[in-house]
Amino acid sequence: MDKVHRECMAILRRHRARERPSRLIRKYKRALKSYDCMICGFNFERQYGLLGRLRIEVHHTKYVVRMKKNEKVNIKHLIPICANCHKMLHTKMPPWTWKELKRMITTRFIL
């Protein structure tokens, strides 16, 4: 029998996930006065025009997994960051803080 390539298979996975408040995130993005990443300064709107306007990502500075069951995400715990910085923040668990990553970038600190 021929080997089946896993990349073509549909796989059912079950995992526990916390819902993020997408309505709050959209509201937060629309209210931003600047679309600069708080870590590296990249600006999607400046680079891509209207296409990039709302493409900035939003990071929760309060670790969502550790929030209490009925605790709500507060808008003061959100910051705008680019996709690259967001990916770098989540390279460890718990994630780096945005201030730690900014310090790494500005001092050219490499692990």
| Residue 73: both structure tokens together | 């995400």
pLDDT at 2: 55
For the chain, percent of residues with pLDDT exceeding 90: 38
Identity at 102, one-letter amino acid code: K
pLDDT over 90 (residue 7): no
Q: Is residue 64 part of a domain?
A: yes
69 in a structural domain: yes
Whether 54 maps to a domain, the answer reads yes
Q: Is residue 99 part of a domain?
A: yes
Could you give the number of structural domains in the chain? 1
User: Is 7 a domain residue?
Assistant: no
Residue 38's domain spans which residues?
Answer: 19-106
Global pTM reads: 0.74
